[in-house]
Chains A and B, each alone.
Chain A
């Protein structure tokens, strides 16, 4: 390729030279192919983020538009001292950890269940993955109905085991978050299931067969062979699902609105309430930036890990 470039250095017209060099170069076309996406990304990701960095240093309330002013780090000081922020972070992390762990265990169990060949395997796989794609706000409303005290199917089902069918599952601290976690487990276990099933099916069969011949029990094979082999994949799946659970908004909005008290007020909801109900754009921007920095640190680690893995494979 380089030879071509040298050969085209002496054209009759300068324009022609530029055009040709553009065509032959290995770097320039790369940038040209990338340019549209890059321009859009700068305009709709980077610029808005920098913009919100600016508002995070301002006192800016939608109900007092004329009193906008620069106040330095005040919004950040408020954020890190705010019990609401601490509460939201805690709720979000508890939700994320519990939901993702349960989804992983259940997804692994399902994947092991469906892994061996049987007739109708494809159909079963398809039906098990369906909930994953459903519109979250619709799922939220569906579960409001399913959990409704008195005539909701879940309390009615629990009443078969002696519980009160009028028990408000979404209304007590002990049950509200678990009820949302259960909904999330229903909705997104298929993600873990699909990833782990793909992983299981790509494992070298010889290793497992060798273990079987050595007389290892299925449990020993799972612990000693399958899981270690799948570990990189599991890490990827946990991280991606974890980040998605971390920003969950729609279902919380519909199921509890953050209550009872602030028992289910996740961080995305806190930011939304701060901006559009307390009208405090400055503080909401600061909260967003604190989260952004935490997520950035985390995902840079993750991306490094992922790249190392991809290089190995």
Chain B
């Protein structure tokens, strides 16, 4: 089944990750798929880490799983110990601001999701001098990925795990109906309508709509796919127009007609659960969910799933979600923490990280390798998606924007607001945030 999808992708010319990444970078020439080459690495200095205990605050998800598998190697090679403090998804950012602004010195290292970088930057160490001092191999990072750790010209985090949303589909169900893999949202909607069987709890698309960050991201995704940006260059909300209304209208249709009947009560894990247990034809979700589907204990669709880049509408794109590793300004062992980052982002460590969980890597030499291709069945789709990944607006107010998105999106899908009211109301709130933040005059 997967071979079919591979051929389709090949035909669409999106398959070679190397060309995908490199052309997305825009400046580098395309290179052929190759075995992992020995990329340049910064010199490691085990003397600094020897005997040190480093505390790392991580999201309790695949990242922690991926790290746990090879952290013992760090102890062996570098002589230091890394203690993971794992915090659940919904409270991670709350804990981070409390700890960072509290200057508690609890952590030497922190995983930071890129949109929070501006808000956290006053409390993170500027890594630029260390990068220059140690000849950190910046050139091996996909440039748009590297940017995720940069704010106002300073590097506050080293990108280690780029995530994108991809389309998961049930190859067997589509084949039975001879429906091709959809490339636009409208096609997806029609395919879902045709393939679902709502009376028997087979839903068209696993998606959630309760007040949750993922629900806001869903609305954002549709707004982008219908051709709009969130903000224009004057920091004005730029989506209150006919396409914006159409995008919101589409989300409402999805919720009403192809989402699970209980979509407004699903939590984030519920989406992946529903798809893995064979209750949905499609799922649009972060690629980090793949292992739940292909290797999860409860999964019944491991051999029936296909992966594809996100559908487009006016345009095809995916939101970039790069996680970076930063050092709090009050870290007790900043030098050792920096050594850890260098070690952690070496090519070999990155492979181990990817193989241990469902993470990816922002390093060209990793992405270009066959070893990476073999790590996960979704590699091709992910690689193709990264080509069309776009960054989110860089504001200290990200969490406020995020909150408004969740509020309006959940009101839209609950039928409390019309698509037009949703879009206009959201735009007004976002403009208010931009005004309060001093971005608009």
Judged by CB atoms under 8 Å, the answer to whether A and B touch is yes
Q: Are A171 and B212 in touch, CB under 8 angstroms? A: no
Complex Cα distance A256/B407, Å? 12
Query: Which of B141-149, B219-227, B398-406 contacts the other chain?
Result: B398-406
Closest to B123 in A: A65
Q: In the assembly, what is the distance between CA of A127 and CA of B119, in Å?
A: 49
Alpha-carbon distance A173/B270, docked complex (angstroms): 21
Contact of B211 among A62, A258, A278 (CB under 8 A): A258
Most buried by B among A164, A169, A170: A170
A8 part of interface (Cβ distance < 8 Å): no
B233: A residues at CB distance < 8 A: none
Residues of B within 8 A of A276 (CB): 94, 97-98
Q: Which residue of A lies closest to B266 (CB)?
A: A149
- Which residues of chain B are within 8 angstroms of A273 by Cβ–Cβ distance? 403
Query: Are A62 and B264 in touch, CB under 8 angstroms?
Result: no
Interface centre among A144, A166, A260, A277 (most CB of B within 10 A): A260
Digitize B396-416: 1 where CB-to-A-CB distance is under 8 Å, 0 elsewhere.
Answer: 110110010011101101101
Q: Distance in Å from the Cβ of B302 to the closest Cβ of chain A?
A: 22
B residues 353-412 in Cβ contact with A at 8 Å? 396-397, 399-400, 403, 406-408, 410-411
Q: Check if A302 is an interface residue, CB within 8 A of chain B.
A: no
- Known contacts A62-B97, A166-B260, A257-B212: does B265 contact A171 (CB below 8 Å)? yes
Q: Is A262 an interface residue (CB 8 A)?
A: yes
Complex Cα–Cα for A257 and B403 (A): 11
Q: Are B119 and A149 in contact (CB under 8 A)?
A: no
Q: Which single residue of chain A is at the shortest CB-CB distance from B101? A: A62
A172, CB-defined interface residue at 8 Å:
yes
B130 interfacial contact with A, CB 8 Å: no
Number of residues from A at the complex interface, CB < 8 A:
33
Q: Is the CB of B261 within 8 A of A277?
A: no
Contact assessment for A173 and B416 in the assembled complex, using a CB-CB cutoff below 8 Å: yes
B122 near A63: Cβ-Cβ < 8 Å: yes
Q: With a CB–CB cut-off of 8 A, which chain A residues contact B261?
A: 149-150, 164, 166-168
A residues within 8 A CB of B267?
144
Q: Which residue of chain A is the closest to B98 with respect to CB atoms?
A: A276
Interface of B is mostly: helix
> Contact between B209 and A63 (Cβ–Cβ < 8 Å)?
no
Range, interface on chain B: 35 or more
Contact between chains at B414 and A166 (CB < 8 Å) = no
Return the contact of B262 from the options A167, A260, A278 (Cβ within 8 A): A167
Complex contact B101–A169 (CB within 8 A): no
Identify which of B212, B396, B410 contacts A261 (C-beta below 8 A).
Answer: B410
Which has the most chain A C-beta neighbours within 10 Å: B209, B400, B403, B410? B410
| Shortest CB distance B49–A (Å) | 30
Say if the beta carbon of B93 comes within 8 Å of chain A.
Answer: yes
Contact A169 B265 (CB under 8 A): yes
- A61 and B264 CA atoms in complex are apart in Å by 33
CB of B253 within 8 A of chain A? no
The reply to whether B411 and A261 form a contact with Cβ atoms under 8 Å apart is yes
In the complex, what distance in Å separates the CA atom of A39 from the CA atom of B238? Answer: 56
- In the assembled complex, the Cα of A172 lies from the Cα of B263 at a distance in Å of 10
Tell whether, in the assembled complex, residue B209 and residue A171 are in contact, meaning their CB atoms are under 8 Å apart: yes
CB neighbours (8 Å) of B264 from chain A are 149, 168, 170-172, 260
Task: Give CA–CA (A261, B411) in the complex, Å.
Answer: 5
When the two chains form their complex, are residues B399 and A260 in contact, meaning their CB atoms are under 8 A apart? no
Pair B119/A171 contact, Cβ less than 8 Å: no
B 114-130 contacts with A by CB, 8 A: 118-120, 122-123
Shortest Cβ distance from A97 into chain B, in angstroms? Answer: 22
Task: Name the residue of chain B whose CB is nearest to the CB of A258.
Answer: B211
B265 contacts across to A, CB distance below 8 A: 147-149, 167-171
Check A259 for interface membership: any CB of B closer than 8 A.
yes
The CA-CA distance from A148 to B260 in the complex, in Å, is: 12
Q: Is the CB of A257 within 8 A of B211?
A: yes
In chain B, residues 239-265, which have Cβ atoms closer than 8 Å to a Cβ of chain A?
260-265
Q: Find out whether the CB atom of B407 lies under 8 angstroms from the CB atom of A261.
A: yes
Contact across chains for B407 and A64 when beta carbons are under 8 A apart = no
* B117 CB → nearest A CB, Å: 11
Q: Find out whether the CB atom of A171 lies under 8 angstroms from the CB atom of B262.
A: yes
Is the CB of A206 closer than 8 A to any CB of chain B?
no
A256 and B210: CB pair below 8 A?
Answer: yes
- The 6 listed contacts between A and B (C-beta, < 8 Å) are A144-B267, A150-B262, A168-B263, A260-B414, A261-B414, A276-B97
Question: Residues of A at under 8 Å CB distance from B?
Answer: 61-66, 144, 147-150, 155, 164, 166-173, 256-262, 273, 276-279
Given contacts A171-B209, A259-B406, A261-B408, 13 further A-B contacts (CB under 8 A): A150-B261, A155-B262, A164-B261, A167-B265, A168-B210, A168-B263, A170-B264, A173-B414, A260-B210, A260-B411, A260-B416, A261-B410, A279-B399
